[in-house]
C-alpha cells in the first residue's frame, strides 16, 4: 500500500508534535514530505533526523544556519522564511497539508495548498475567521477535501456526515470553560497569564490557551462553524461542558441530537483528518462510560467573558470585521502573555479596534492583508 504523504505546517507546536505521534504509530500508512517551524530549531532538527522529510523550513532566519548545518549529512532540503513555505508547497507532491500554525500566518500557505489541490487538515481556525469567503470559494473551485482538526469541528463534521443539512436546527459547540470558569469578575481583574496557561483539560499552545480562558477561542470557532458548514449565527450555540468528553452536538428538526464523544485527545481528530473517509484502529485511550461520574453543562457568562459576544458581533457585521477581531486579539494576547496588560484589556483592545478600523463589506485578499496590518498597528498603539 502506498503511504500517504503529509506536510506539517507547525511541526514543533502542540498539534504538530501530536501529528508526528500519529505518523509514528502509523508508519505503514503515512510519511512526512515537509516540516516547518517558527523558531524551535532544536526540535525541528530532531524531528527531521527521525522522519527524513524531503524538506524543512525554519521561519526564523537567525536559526537557518544551525538547521542547515545539523542536517547537512542527510538528503533533506533546508529553507527559511515564510515565502519559502509557500514556494515549497507549490512544488511539493504531498497529498495532505496539516495546518498546525496558529494565527494569520496560516492564510497564505493554505491558499497555495488549495490551489495545488492538496487535502487540507485544518487546525488553524484563524484562516477561516480572517478570509472565510475567499477560502470557501477556492475550496469549491479546486474541489479539495477540507477536513477540520479542531476537536469541536471534527465532531460536527462527523455528526453531519450523511445528514440533510436542511434538517439541522441547531449547532451546539461545547467549551471546557477554561481555567477561570468559576472566577468572579473582580478576581478576573487581577489574573495573570501564568494562571491562564494552566488549562484544566487540554494541553495546547500558549495563544490558544489564553483564548480558551477568555472564551475568544470559542468565539473564533463560532465564525469557523459558519464558514465550514454554512449555518447562521443564530443557529450556533455555545455550551460550557467542563469534562470535555462531548466535543460538539447537532440538534435536528425532529428534536434528535447527535453528539461525538471521545477522550480529550487531539490525536483522535488528527488521525481522522488523515484517514477520512476511513477510520483506522489505534492504541489511544478509549472513553469508558463506567468511569464517567457525570457530565455537566452550563450556559456561558457573557458578562464575565465578553470576547464571545465580540466574535458573534464580528460575524454578523461580516466583511473585514472578523479579520480586525483576529488581529487585535493576537496583539492583545501577546501583550497579556508578556504581562503588559490585564485580562479585561484583551476584550477592550478588540472592541476599540472593531470600532475604529474602517469596515469593508466585500474585501479582497489584499484588503484583508492591509486590514490585518492596520489593526495590529492600531492595537499596539493602545496597549
276 domain-assigned: no
50 domain-assigned: yes
Task: Answer with the one of 148, 171, 192 that is the final residue of a domain.
Answer: 148
Same-domain pairing of 322 and 376: yes
Same-domain pairing of 185 and 296: yes
Same-domain pairing of 85 and 110: yes
What is the rounded (10 degree) CA torsion for 320, 325, 329, 330? Answer: -20
Q: How far apart are CA 295 and CA 272, in angstroms?
A: 25
271 domain-assigned: no
Contact at 8 Å (CB) between 16 and 8? yes
What pLDDT, on a 0 to 100 scale, did the predictor assign at position 156? 97
Contact at 8 Å (CB) between 202 and 244? yes
What pLDDT, on a 0 to 100 scale, did the predictor assign at position 324? 98
Task: Answer with the one of 84, 114, 148 that is the final residue of a domain.
Answer: 148
- Three cell numbers at 171? 449547532
197 domain-assigned: yes
pLDDT tens digits, residue range 230-258? 999 999 999 999 988 999 999 999 999 99
Same-domain pairing of 226 and 178: yes
Same-domain pairing of 144 and 157: no
Print the domain residue range for 35: 4-148
Same-domain pairing of 14 and 88: yes
* Element of type H or E holding 334: helix 321-337
280 domain-assigned: no
Same-domain pairing of 171 and 227: yes
Q: Look at the chain and report how many structural domains it folds into.
A: 3
Same-domain pairing of 236 and 138: no
CATH code, 363: 1.10.1740.10
Number of helices followed by number of strands (H, E) in the chain: 16, 11
Same-domain pairing of 161 and 302: yes
Same-domain pairing of 169 and 251: yes
Same-domain pairing of 304 and 226: yes
214: closest CA among 232, 231, 195? Answer: 195
CATH code, 26: 3.40.50.720
281 domain-assigned: no
119 domain-assigned: yes
Same-domain pairing of 103 and 197: no
Task: Answer with the one of 148, 179, 200 that is the final residue of a domain.
Answer: 148
Q: pTM for this one?
A: 0.92
pLDDT tens digits, residue range 151-196? 999 999 999 999 999 999 999 999 999 889 999 999 999 999 988 8
Q: How far apart are CA 168 and CA 170, in angstroms?
A: 6
- What is the full DSSP assignment across 94-139? -SEEEE---SGGGHHHHHHHHHTTPEEEE--THHHHHHHHHHHHHH
253 domain-assigned: yes
Q: How far apart are CA 308 and CA 50, in angstroms?
A: 41
Q: Which residues of the chain have pLDDT under 50?
A: none
Amino acid at each position: 500500500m502506498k503511504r500517504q504523504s503529509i506536510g506539517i505546517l507547525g511541526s514543533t507546536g502542540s498539534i504538530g508534535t501530536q501529528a508526528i505521534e500519529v505518523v509514528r504509530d502509523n508508519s505503514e500508512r503515512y510519511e512526512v514530505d515537509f516540516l516547518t517551524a517558527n523558531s524551535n530549531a532544536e526540535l525541528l532538527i530532531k524531528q527531521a533526523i527521525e522522519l527524513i522529510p524531503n524538506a524543512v523550513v525554519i521561519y526564523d532566519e537567525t536559526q537557518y544556519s544551525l538547521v542547515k548545518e545539523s542536517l547537512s549529512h542527510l538528503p533533506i532540503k533546508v529553507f527559511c522564511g515564510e515565502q519559502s513555505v509557500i514556494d515549497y508547497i507549490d512544488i511539493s507532491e504531498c497529498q495532505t497539508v496539516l495546518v498546525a500554525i496558529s494565527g494569520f500566518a496560516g492564510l497564505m500557505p493554505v491558499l497555495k495548498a488549495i490551489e495545488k489541490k492538496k487535502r487540507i487538515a485544518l487546525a488553524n481556525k484563524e484562516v477561516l475567521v480572517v478570509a472565510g469567503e475567499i477560502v470557501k470559494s477556492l475550496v469549491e473551485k479546486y474541489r479539495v477535501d477540507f477536513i477540520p482538526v479542531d476537536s469541536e469541528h471534527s465532531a460536527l463534521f462527523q455528526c453531519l456526515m450523511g445528514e440533510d443539512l436542511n434538517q439541522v436546527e441547531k449547532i451546539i459547540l461545547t467549551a471546557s470553560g477554561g481555567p477561570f470558569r468559576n472566577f468572579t469578575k473582580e478576581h478576573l481583574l487581577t489574573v495573570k497569564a501564568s494562571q491562564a496557561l494552566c488549562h484544566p483539560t487540554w494541553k495546547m499552545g500558549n495563544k490558544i490557551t489564553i483564548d480558551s480562558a477568555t472564551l475568544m477561542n470559542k468565539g473564533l470557532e463560532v465564525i469557523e462553524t459558519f464558514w465550514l458548514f454554512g449555518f447562521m449565527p443564530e443557529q450556533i450555540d455555545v455550551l460550557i461542558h467542563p469534562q470535555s468528553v462531548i466535543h460538539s452536538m447537532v440538534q435536528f428538526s425532529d428534536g434528535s441530537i447527535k453528539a461525538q464523544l471521545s477522550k480529550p485527545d487531539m490525536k483522535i481528530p488528527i488521525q481522522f483528518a488523515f484517514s477520512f473517509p476511513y477510520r483506522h484502529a489505534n492504541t489511544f485511550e478509549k472513553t469508558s462510560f463506567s468511569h464517567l461520574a457525570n457530565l455537566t453543562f452550563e450556559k456561558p457568562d457573557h458578562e464575565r467573558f465578553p470576547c464571545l459576544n465580540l466574535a458573534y458581533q464580528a460575524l454578523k457585521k461580516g466583511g473585514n470585521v472578523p479579520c480586525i477581531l483576529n488581529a487585535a486579539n493576537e496583539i492583545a494576547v501577546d501583550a497579556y502573555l508578556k504581562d503588559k496588560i490585564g485580562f479585561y484589556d484583551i476584550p477592550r483592545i478588540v472592541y476599540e479596534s472593531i470600532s475604529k478600523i474602517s469596515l469593508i463589506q466585500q474585501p479582497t485578499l489584499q484588503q484583508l492583508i492591509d486590514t490585518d496590518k492596520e489593526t495590529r498597528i492600531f492595537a499596539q498603539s493602545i496597549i
